[in-house]
Every structure is written in structure tokens, then in C-alpha cells.
Amino acid sequence: MKKNISILFSILISANVFASDLSLQNNIQGTGYVYRVIDGDTYEINIDNQNVYNKLKSSSNRKEQKYLKDKYKSFRVRLANTDTAESKHPDASRNSQEGKNASVYVKRLIEKKKVSFNCWDHGYYGRVICSVSYNGQDLGLNLIQNGYSKYITKYGKHPYLDSQYRK
């Protein structure tokens, strides 16, 4: 019996080590240029490194790959832990002036500019969940501090900037 418990314990420890390695594999970092700001919290980024793009693609399932474009090495980002008001929703009644303001603000900051990104998940609609930084500043933090978004923890805390986002 003790031997069986010992074996089971070893298996559980190995499984935990393996699981933490998988989460590291899904953490994808890189740089690229913001091709298009869709709205305040959704963007398309052209990655400037083929290996990073390949890693992102291999970590995505079929549904998620609809937001990847091989020709441009681009992907659609959903900015982590933020939620700006709508400006480009298919249901026009959901769009607002606050959403348009957030979209214009973000366009001025990052559209057609180089950014760095750190991605760790895919959202409900298949977009990649990432932090985006420009000129060394985190975009999500900027949006929260300037009143364009609240810190959203409905799907979990920000894995790296929770304390900064809470201030």
C-alpha cells in the first residue's frame, strides 16, 4: 500500500511539473507593428519574427487560427483585463461616444507603431489574450489610469501586473 501511495505521489508531482511547463509554452512574447486598431481593446499586430508567429500558430486551435494571417504574420489581440466601451460592434446600438474616444486614443498611441506583447491565453471568441506595451509603457495600465477602462478580473487577475492595475 505504501508503495502504491509513493508511486501515486510521484505521478502527481511529475504531472504538476509538466503542467507548469505547458503554461510556459503558451506564454508567447514578441514584438511587431500594430497594423490596425479595431477598437480600444482589440488590435491586429504584424509580428516581426517568423519563429514567434509559428509558436503562436502552433498554440492555436482551428477556431483561434481564424485570427491569424500567415501572409502578414499577423494576429488579433484582445487586450488583457480591460474592457473599453464599444465603437465597432456589429450591433450599432452598442457603440458609444466613450468607445469612439477610447478607439481614437489608442490609435494615436499605437497604430502603425512598434509594440511588444506578452500573450498567455485565447479568449472566448478565439482572440489571443495579451498585454501590449509601447515605449516601455503597458497599454492596459494606461487605459485604466486614464479612465478608458476599468480593471476587469471576471476571467482572472492579470498574471503579471495585478498590483499595478489595482492602484
Task: Give me the CATH number covering residue 104.
Answer: 2.40.50.90
Pick from 22-26, 70-74, 132-136: least confident: 22-26
Q: How far apart are CA 114 and CA 32, in angstroms?
A: 5
Instruction: Supply the DSSP string of 26-84, one letter for each residue.
Output: H-EEEEEEEEEEEETTEEEEEES-HHHHHHHHHT--TTGGGGEEGGGTEEEEEETT--P
- Check residue 158 and give left, alpha or beta (phi > 0: left; psi -120 to 50: alpha): beta
Pick from 23-37, 88-102, 119-133: least confident: 23-37
Residue 137 lies in a domain: yes
Locate 150 and state its grid cell: 476599468
Residue 72 lies in a domain: yes
- pTM more than 0.95: no
Residue 18 lies in a domain: no
Q: How many domains does the chain have?
A: 1
Residue 13 lies in a domain: no
pLDDT at 112 > cutoff 70: yes
Residue 92 lies in a domain: yes
Instruction: Say what the pLDDT of residue 84 is.
Output: 95
N-terminal to C-terminal alpha carbon distance within the chain: 52
Pick from 23-32, 52-61, 103-112, 150-159: least confident: 23-32
Q: Structural domain of residue 74, as residue ranges?
A: 28-166
Query: What is the share, in percent, of the chain residues with pLDDT greater than 90?
Result: 75
pLDDT tens per residue, range 9-39: 333 333 333 333 333 356 999 999 999 999 9
